[in-house]
């Protein structure tokens, strides 16, 4: 299950797997709430597969040096600056395509790409201004004869906390209402039909949009990281942020997103000193 669900969708079509790709995979999985132990097991299985392919099929066998959270996670997290985030938001707010709703949702709710692609109109309550994350879409590889084929699979989120209710801001509710063209409750939000847009296809759409807007190429998960980081910067309640993201523990949110910068450290020390001098 680990191979089909986690490894094949990311590495199944690759011949040479680079260290940076494995490192990004590790931090993405940790960001999705997988434990360090689970992620290490995934990487261990990947290493065994590559080693077997090297021995029996002549594949290259790279020696990866992979870092795992805690201390260094934040160094690899990709974020959009506030200005870049505003440019992206400005586009998706005014765009008429239903596809751009996925980016709007990720920027304003922190939803994962699989959750966005799996969202159906039945999962939304626009009169109340909320949605319920009940499923996720994954791209897996299945073998048909001698050929491996990519297939989109709709499934339940991997953890109980990933199933969650998220309130929607009025601007997002308005955008959803304007771009709905189907009365079918089981139609997917991004396509307005019962056929979803695949995760790989939607990722390509996202990258093309970044290129069109002259924005840096950052992975889709960066939208989730950006959402969480802005919430932290604005001093929102940590438990609320963790619940919105679907993390099983607030410690996951802390490890991934709470990293004081030099200015914050300086301010903390100055406040401590000023407090002492007043007494």
- Classify the C-alpha dihedral 85-88-94-95 as positive or negative: negative
Q: Which among 128, 78, 79, 133 is positioned nearest to 244, based on CA atoms? A: 133
Half-sphere exposure in the Cβ direction for 52 (13 Å, CA): 6
Q: What pLDDT is attached to residue 73? A: 45
- What is the biggest distance separating any 2 CA atoms in the chain, rounded to whole angstroms? 79
Q: Where are the beta strands (DSSP E) in 197-275?
A: none
Q: What radius of gyration, in Å, describes the C-alpha atoms of the chain?
A: 21
Give the whole-angstrom CA distance, residue 179 versus residue 194: 16
DSSP state of 161: G
**Cβ of 1: how many Cβ atoms within 10 Å?**
5
Q: What pLDDT is attached to residue 45? A: 85
Q: What pLDDT is attached to residue 204? A: 93
Q: Which among 207, 212, 126 is positioned nearest to 167, based on CA atoms? A: 126
Give the whole-angstrom CA distance, residue 106 versus residue 100: 10
Q: Alpha carbon of 186 to those of 29, 189, 196: distances in Å?
A: 29, 9, 11
Length of the chain: 279
Read off the pTM.
0.70
Tens-binned pLDDT, residue by residue, of the chain (279 aa)? 567 777 877 887 777 788 888 888 888 787 666 777 788 888 888 888 888 878 787 777 777 888 777 644 444 567 899 999 999 999 999 999 999 999 999 999 999 999 999 999 999 999 999 999 999 988 766 666 666 666 778 888 767 788 999 999 999 999 999 999 999 999 999 999 999 999 889 999 999 999 999 999 998 989 998 999 889 888 888 899 999 998 878 877 877 776 655 556 676 777 777 877 775
Residue 179 and residue 96 in contact, taking contact as beta carbons nearer than 8 Å:
yes
Q: What pLDDT is attached to residue 171? A: 94
Helix, coil or strand: residue 100: helix
């Amino acid at each position: 299950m680990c191979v089909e669900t986690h490894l094949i969708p990311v590495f199944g079509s690759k011949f040479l797997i680079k260290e940076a790709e494995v490192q990004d995979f590790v931090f993405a999985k940790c960001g999705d709430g997988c434990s360090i132990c689970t992620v290490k097991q995934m990487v261990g299985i990947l290493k065994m597969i590559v080693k077997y392919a090297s021995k029996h099929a002549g594949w290259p066998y790279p020696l990866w040096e992979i870092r795992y959270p805690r201390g260094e996670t934040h160094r690899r997290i990709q974020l959009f600056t506030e200005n870049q985030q505003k440019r992206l938001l400005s586009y998706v707010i005014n765009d008429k395509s239903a596809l751009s709703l996925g980016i709007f949702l990720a920027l304003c709710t922190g939803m994962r790409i699989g959750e966005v692609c799996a969202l159906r109109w039945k999962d939304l309550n626009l009169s109340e201004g909320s949605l319920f994350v009940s499923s996720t879409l994954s791209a897996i590889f299945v073998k048909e004869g001698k050929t491996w084929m990519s297939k989109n699979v709709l499934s339940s989120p991997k953890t109980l906390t990933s199933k969650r209710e998220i309130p929607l801001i009025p601007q997002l509710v308005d955008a959803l209402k304007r771009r709905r063209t189907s009365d079918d409750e089981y139609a997917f939000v991004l396509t307005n039909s019962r056929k979803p847009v695949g995760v790989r296809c939607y990722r390509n759409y996202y990258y093309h949009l970044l290129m069109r807007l002259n924005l840096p190429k950052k992975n889709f998960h960066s939208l989730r990281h950006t959402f969480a980081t802005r919430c932290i910067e604005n001093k929102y309640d940590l438990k609320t942020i963790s619940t919105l993201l679907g993390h099983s523990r607030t410690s996951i949110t802390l490890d991934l997103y709470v990293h004081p910068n030099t200015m914050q450290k300086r301010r903390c020390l100055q406040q401590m000193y000023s407090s002492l001098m007043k007494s």
